[in-house]
Amino acid sequence: MTALWRIRATVDDRPGFLSVLTASLALRKVNILSVQVHTTEAGAVDDFLVEAPDGVTAATLADAVRRGRGRDPWIAPADVRGLIDEPTRVLTLATKVLDGGCGLEEALAALLGDCDISWRSSGAGGFTASGMQLEDPAGGTLYVRRPAPEFTPAEYARAQALVELARVASRRTAS
Residues 90 and 168 in one domain: yes
Residues 168 and 102 in one domain: yes
Where does a domain end: 51, 68, 83?
Answer: 83
User: What average pLDDT does the segment 63-68 reach?
Assistant: 98
Residues 61 and 93 in one domain: no
| Whether the predicted pLDDT of 94 surpasses 80 | yes
Instruction: Name the average pLDDT for the chain.
Output: 93
Residues 127 and 48 in one domain: no
Where does a domain end: 83, 100, 117?
Answer: 83
| Whether the predicted pLDDT of 175 surpasses 70 | no
Where does a domain end: 50, 83, 116?
Answer: 83
User: What average pLDDT does the segment 40-68 reach?
Assistant: 96
| Number of DSSP helices (H) and strands (E) in the chain, helices first | 5, 8
Q: Domain holding 31: CATH number?
A: 3.30.70.260
Instruction: Write out pLDDT tens, residues 102-123.
Output: 999 999 999 998 899 999 998 8
In this prediction, residue 51 carries a pLDDT of: 97
Residues 113 and 76 in one domain: no
Alpha carbon distance 30, 123 (integer Å):
44
Q: Is 30 helix (H, G, I), strand (E, B) or coil?
A: coil
In this prediction, residue 84 carries a pLDDT of: 83
pTM for the predicted model, two decimal places: 0.85
The neighbouring-strand residues paired with 76 are 6
| Whether the predicted pLDDT of 156 surpasses 80 | yes
Rounded to a whole number of angstroms, the CA Rg of the chain reads 18
In this prediction, residue 104 carries a pLDDT of: 94
Residues 93 and 61 in one domain: no
Contacts of 72 (CB under 8 A, 6+ apart): 9, 10, 150
Residues 118 and 154 in one domain: yes
Residues 91 and 77 in one domain: no
Identify the band that residue 169 occupies on the pLDDT scale cut at 50, 70 and 90. Answer: confident
The neighbouring-strand residues paired with 37 are 46
Residues 57 and 68 in one domain: yes
Residues 50 and 130 in one domain: no
Instruction: Write out pLDDT tens, residues 77-88.
Output: 998 877 788 889
User: What average pLDDT does the segment 154-160 reach?
Assistant: 95
Residues 55 and 99 in one domain: no
Residue type, 76: A
Q: Count Cβ atoms below 10 Å from residue 134 Cβ, excluding itself.
A: 24
Residue type, 136: D
Residues 74 and 105 in one domain: no
Number of alpha carbons in the 13 Å side-chain half-sphere of residue 91: 5
In this prediction, residue 63 carries a pLDDT of: 98
Alpha carbon distance 99, 74 (integer Å):
35
Determine the structural domain holding residue 39 and report its residue range.
Answer: 2-83
The number of domains in the chain is 2
